[in-house]
Structure 1
Amino acid sequence: MSTDKVPFQVTISALHRGYRSGWFTVDEVIDVIIERSREDADMAIWILPPALERIRPYLERLKEMNPEDSPLWGIPFAVKDNIEVAGWPVTAACPDFSYEPGQHAAVVERLLAAGAIPVGKTNLDQFATGLVGTRSPYGAAHNALRPELISGGSSSGSAVAVARGQAAFALGTDTAGSGRVPAALNGLIGYKPALGAWPSSGVIPACRSLDCVTVFARVIEDAESVDGQVRGHLPSDPYSAGRPLGRAAMPEVFLIPKGPLEFFGPFAEAYSEAWERAKQRLVQTGHKVEEADISLFQEAAAQLYEGPWVAERWADLESFISSHPGSALPVTEQILRSGSRADFTAAALFRSQHRLAEIRGEVRRLLNNAVLVLPTAGGTWTREQVAADPVAANSKMGLYTNHCNLLDLSAVSIPAGEAEERLPFGITLFTLPEKEANLGAAARALTSQTKDVTVAVCGLHMREMPLERQMLELGAEFLEESETAAVYELYMLPTSPPKPGLIRTSGNGAAIRLELWKMSAASFGHFTASIPAPLGIGRIELADGRQVSGFLCESYAAEQSRNITSAGGWRNAITLFQK
């Protein structure tokens, strides 16, 4: 047994397979998660980070449970810190609001009954008022792949915890897109059930009548496993509803917006191109695709924060904000107090409700046996850019998400490749609550179209080498042995342990043996982020003319390194030159 075998891409199936095979124990998995959280301490993922003394009671509880009867036995999960875990402080990212609940939120209680293990409380936009992940006194959560970018919010820490291998899944909440935007920005699944399908008892409300508990996961099967444990009516919860899933089937038609869409931020062009590629892949599945006017969805979206619905936020938090001046961040208080505008009258709210009822009727006709496909987000920003213009940048992030709960739709955000290197792109599928089961089938059909990345490795990451485990942790699959075109030199870098450095020459070179592996685009992003200088990822020309991504070394490193080109590859070199 070894913690080296705990995968970075933590999924339910991978953990259960590891437990059954004896590769690692639950205690070892928790040790790895705690260590990973310490290594990422500067990323502002956690408010209450994983700690053994808090997790131990749940490990002890597992000893009394039969793994065969407990679908989530030994599965670690993270909890957004506006959801109650008994005995753990809950802050909603406002220290003065902190209290210690005496019981678990309903969704947490149901997960514990299935054998899952809560590991910590994650960071969020304060009081869940934001879609950027920067509005927290506990720090602005970093994006999992490109730390200079935003994580998305408000369920920022929950998404990043899963993306950084610190939980198999994580609970978030969603009022305007908080369970979907962070999923897209971190290369994950973000599943949002129908209103009331999962109980919200024990959740600090943002807009009580619209709030949903959500889940972040790496694969749609894990989101479905969580749904299977937490779905169901809770009589004591006034907003809980009996909304059982029907039989899953592929939608008859996929709807895409008619006409051009708006993209924004520093990566607007890359996002636009990623959307065009996503549409092409959708057509290539062979399923029926039609264009639709989405102006009704945009009209509904405007009602959420430009209309009287913002008063619902103020209704729940007015007392605290008024009695604790200065406790909330200025931008949070600004957003909350906007709900007290004089023109947000009861009459204005009723007018909004009446118009939304009309829109819902038209949307129901449009989505009958159909799924609407939209970009989850139309762009992203650096954390520095959001700090410079927090309100406008945040508003843009909800462009394609705000309508969802007002229209009582079910949704799932899924990865759809990359806009550019280490910049995930996501799309969201929307459908009617009674057709929610179809989202899984649709998600599988579309994610199977996302292109994998072929990666060339020429040293320690090859099979039976010390870092092979990193490839396996990332879900990579070995494809074949190969060799470069005869234009490269191979060096043994003076590191500990020694590493190979592959350098392309302008003169005579040689063919160097290597291996080709396949991994997902999201995994490739994690892989490249961990590579130290002078190594990097570039395009490698193979002997058969193909070009693939792979390890290259900067030429300056050759001055202090041993030329081992004559060995023809790393395996031979360590035999010939390390004696």
Structure 2
Amino acid sequence: MNVKSLLQTLSIPKLKDKYERNEVTPEEVVRDIIERAQADKEYHIWITPPSLELVQPYLDQLQTMDRKEKPLWGIPFAIKDNIDLAGVPTTAGCAEFAYTPGEHATVVSRLIDAGAIPVGKTNLDQFATGLVGTRSPYGETRNALHPDLISGGSSSGSAVAVARGQAAFALGTDTAGSGRVPAALNNLVGYKPSLGAWPVRGVVPACASLDCVTVFANNLSDALLVDEAVRGVETSDPWSRELRRRSHALPEKICLLREPLHFFGPFASDYEEAWEEAVERIKALGVPVEYIDGGYLSEAAAVLYDGPWVAERWAALGSFIEANPEAAFPVTEAILRSGKKPEYDAAALFQAMHKLQAFKQKAHQQLENAVLLMPTSGGTWTRADVRENPIQTNSDMGRYTNHCNLLDLCAVAVPAGETKGGLPFGITLFANRENEHLITGLSDLFLYGGQYEVNKTTTTVAVCGLHMRGFPLEKQMLEHGASFLREARTAPEYKMVKLSSEPPKPGLIRTKKAGASIQIELWEMPLEELGRFAERIPFPLGIGKIKIEDGTEVPGFICEAVGEEEEDISYTGGWRNADS
């Protein structure tokens, strides 16, 4: 089967459909990828290129899997070469640094368990230090669409592998924008989850406190399928944390910067015009737009390379650099060595931390139920431009990305059309760490015209007993993504009984007789979690409508009439008093 005649670029749904129809096999796809990689050698995409020797064990493993239970069965993916694939050298773009891991990085292991096929390790700006894709002894990665231009970095090979049809998706990493800039320059979606949402165990650290694993894909839905496979806490990873991504929703507002934006490079005017067109498209979506003060974002971003945070890179790699003089790419070594400047002492670090904390608070206040929109990049460069001026060109590429992880934001870079000169142009959507569902919902609307109600993703839930704060079942509220809103009372129409269960718990019964006003707590829970939460509630309790003292009704715990015969404890005014 000639795969090229079927698929120029690879996407998860298309491949799965071809497999279901028996039009192509995973082995045929892999053989075609090998041919494509060999034909594209001058693009410098791979450090460990696709080969049957590497891939065959994973093809064999597919035969033992039930494809209906494996959402990524037979889907080929690429791995940035600072992420471990067992038995294959991890170089981080430096041959002298290379080691061969005995086990996969957590994200790689989860993808393989879901049926995905790793096909090779991709080129990168050495030690993930750069946004241009040219800082590698393995060659300058060329832009997938315009080979004389930069590919973006540091996840250069991963982005170009997807754009050139050599993987359906690819893993990158993102500390300062490396999972977003290459997406914009190669017309891809680049998804950067919230810090800690994807484990980083098995990833060579750049700045461990800021590093994220990311995904490049041809469309948003493919990226989110990968997210579903890899998201979740890894107990052996100290940076991992539980952050669920809720169903798509729209923000209450879209934020744009009040300050004029800076466009740069040989195509600056084209990029500015493309940005203005993107803004008009955004304003036509029907979501309110607000212009905000964003001057502090660049000040926050400067901490990463022009402040003490660069010392974290030196902490991770300094001993190797000192022990291996001239092993690193010259510009990379210069940047890493800047982290040992005497002025970057402990006091400077704490001063920067305190400044960042204030910036972080401001960002999270501005972006409460909102999404910030910016160009992913204000321009691009030829590879020759970067050779002539490697520091400033790279610095410009991070102008609208460097702040993201420092401020604990999530982000997705999406295509936004072309410049008048035919270059791909992209925008990035940012949100607070708990609001990934807002950037995905708005991206889906922008890209594909999805229809959603604004911010209708949660519901108030009234609890009156063991699910209240400080009681044993509060953990169930937290497990289902709920957050405490406030204390309240019911309308004076209720009877509270003490159920003879183990442990004892209250039952709230609405009565036509003289009733009492009972103390309750109001929590906000994701709508998608309410059904799963209700399934855990034992008879005779259930979820119904609770009338609160201001006359409104909200979902909450109610007790069936069979509880009428239990001990009446309405006189206590609430379970906290009855339980004390």
TM-score normalised according to structure 1 size: 0.77
Structure 1 residue 447, shift from structure 2 partner: 1.5
Distance 1:318 1:4, change over 3 A: closer
Is the contact between residue 259 and residue 295 of structure 2 (CA under 8 Å) also seen in structure 1?
no
1:203 aligns with 2:187: no
Counterparts of 1:9 and 1:370, CA distance in 2? 33
Give unpaired runs (5+ residues) of structure 1: 451-579
**SS class of match (1:79):** strand
Match of 1:34 in 2: 34
**SS class of match (1:427):** strand
Is the contact between residue 376 and residue 413 of structure 1 (CA under 8 Å) also seen in structure 2?
yes
**SS class of match (1:420):** coil
Match of 1:143 in 2: 143
Which is higher, the Rg of structure 1 or of structure 2?
A: 2
Q: Deviations over 1:31-54 (max 9, x none)?
A: 111111111111000001100111
1:170 aligns with 2:170: yes
Counterparts of 1:256 and 1:448, CA distance in 2? 21
Match of 2:439 in 1: 439
Is the contact between residue 304 and residue 310 of structure 2 (CA under 8 Å) also seen in structure 1?
yes
Counterparts of 1:337 and 1:355, CA distance in 2? 24
Match of 1:102 in 2: 102
1:20 aligns with 2:46: no
Distance 1:192 1:142, change over 3 A: same
Q: Deviations over 1:221-259 (max 9, x none)?
A: 011000001011111111111111234311111111114
Is the contact between residue 5 and residue 24 of structure 1 (CA under 8 Å) also seen in structure 2?
no
Is the contact between residue 131 and residue 397 of structure 1 (CA under 8 Å) also seen in structure 2?
yes
Structure 1 residue 438, shift from structure 2 partner: 1.9
**SS class of match (1:273):** helix
Q: Deviations over 1:380-439 (max 9, x none)?
A: 000000000001100000000000000000000000001134410000000011111222
Counterparts of 1:420 and 1:179, CA distance in 2? 25
Match of 1:317 in 2: 317
Distance 1:167 1:427, change over 3 A: same
Structure 1 residue 440, shift from structure 2 partner: 1.4
Q: Deviations over 1:80-110 (max 9, x none)?
A: 0000000001100101111111000000000
Structure 1 residue 448, shift from structure 2 partner: 3.1
Is the contact between residue 360 and residue 407 of structure 2 (CA under 8 Å) also seen in structure 1?
yes
Structure 1 residue 24, shift from structure 2 partner: 0.9
**SS class of match (1:216):** strand
Is the contact between residue 6 and residue 32 of structure 1 (CA under 8 Å) also seen in structure 2?
no
Is the contact between residue 73 and residue 116 of structure 1 (CA under 8 Å) also seen in structure 2?
yes
Distance 1:422 1:118, change over 3 A: farther
Is the contact between residue 259 and residue 294 of structure 2 (CA under 8 Å) also seen in structure 1?
no
1:270 aligns with 2:270: yes
Counterparts of 1:76 and 1:258, CA distance in 2? 43
Structure 1 residue 376, shift from structure 2 partner: 0.3
1:254 aligns with 2:251: no
Match of 1:552 in 2: none
Is the contact between residue 281 and residue 449 of structure 1 (CA under 8 Å) also seen in structure 2?
no
Q: Which amino acid aligns with 1:378?
A: G
Structure 1 residue 6, shift from structure 2 partner: 3.4
Counterparts of 1:131 and 1:123, CA distance in 2? 13
Match runs of 1:76-225 below 5 Å: 76-225=76-225
**SS class of match (1:243):** coil
Match runs of 1:313-392 below 5 Å: 313-392=313-392
Counterparts of 2:101 and 2:405, CA distance in 1? 27
Is the contact between residue 370 and residue 438 of structure 2 (CA under 8 Å) also seen in structure 1?
no
Counterparts of 2:132 and 2:420, CA distance in 1? 20
Q: Which amino acid aligns with 1:291?
A: Y
Q: Deviations over 1:515-534 (max 9, x none)?
A: xxxxxxxxxxxxxxxxxxxx
Q: Deviations over 1:461-489 (max 9, x none)?
A: xxxxxxxxxxxxxxxxxxxxxxxxxxxxx
Q: Deviations over 1:13-34 (max 9, x none)?
A: 0100111112111111111111
| CA RMSD, 1 decimal | 1.1
Counterparts of 2:293 and 2:399, CA distance in 1? 15
Structure 1 residue 449, shift from structure 2 partner: 6.9
**SS class of match (1:53):** helix
Q: Which amino acid aligns with 1:232?
A: G
Q: Which amino acid aligns with 2:81?
A: D
Counterparts of 1:134 and 1:42, CA distance in 2? 13
Counterparts of 2:275 and 2:244, CA distance in 1? 33
Structure 1 residue 132, shift from structure 2 partner: 0.2
Structure 1 residue 361, shift from structure 2 partner: 1.0
Structure 1 residue 446, shift from structure 2 partner: 1.1
Is the contact between residue 270 and residue 421 of structure 2 (CA under 8 Å) also seen in structure 1?
no
Counterparts of 2:21 and 2:125, CA distance in 1? 40
Q: Which amino acid aligns with 2:55?
A: I
Match runs of 1:491-502 below 5 Å: none
Distance 1:448 1:248, change over 3 A: closer
Match of 1:293 in 2: 293
Structure 1 residue 4, shift from structure 2 partner: 4.2
Match of 1:547 in 2: none
**SS class of match (1:437):** helix
Is the contact between residue 27 and residue 59 of structure 2 (CA under 8 Å) also seen in structure 1?
yes
Structure 1 residue 283, shift from structure 2 partner: 1.0
Counterparts of 1:4 and 1:380, CA distance in 2? 30
Is the contact between residue 47 and residue 121 of structure 1 (CA under 8 Å) also seen in structure 2?
yes
**SS class of match (2:424):** strand
Counterparts of 1:336 and 1:55, CA distance in 2? 35
Match of 1:485 in 2: none
Counterparts of 2:319 and 2:256, CA distance in 1? 43
Counterparts of 1:304 and 1:146, CA distance in 2? 30
Is the contact between residue 145 and residue 422 of structure 1 (CA under 8 Å) also seen in structure 2?
no
Structure 1 residue 10, shift from structure 2 partner: 0.6
TM-score normalised according to structure 2 size: 0.77
Counterparts of 1:395 and 1:51, CA distance in 2? 36
Counterparts of 2:247 and 2:109, CA distance in 1? 26
**SS class of match (1:60):** helix
Match of 2:457 in 1: none
Counterparts of 1:54 and 1:281, CA distance in 2? 45
Q: Which amino acid aligns with 1:409?
A: L
Counterparts of 1:14 and 1:62, CA distance in 2? 18
**SS class of match (1:184):** helix
Match of 1:239 in 2: 239
Is the contact between residue 6 and residue 24 of structure 1 (CA under 8 Å) also seen in structure 2?
no
Is the contact between residue 125 and residue 136 of structure 2 (CA under 8 Å) also seen in structure 1?
yes
Match of 1:483 in 2: none
Q: Which amino acid aligns with 2:82?
A: N
Structure 1 residue 5, shift from structure 2 partner: 4.0
Counterparts of 2:123 and 2:405, CA distance in 1? 23
Is the contact between residue 5 and residue 23 of structure 1 (CA under 8 Å) also seen in structure 2?
no
Counterparts of 1:239 and 1:283, CA distance in 2? 37
Is the contact between residue 2 and residue 23 of structure 1 (CA under 8 Å) also seen in structure 2?
no
Match of 2:282 in 1: 282
Match of 2:405 in 1: 405
Aligned length: 450
Structure 1 residue 2, shift from structure 2 partner: 3.8
**SS class of match (2:34):** helix
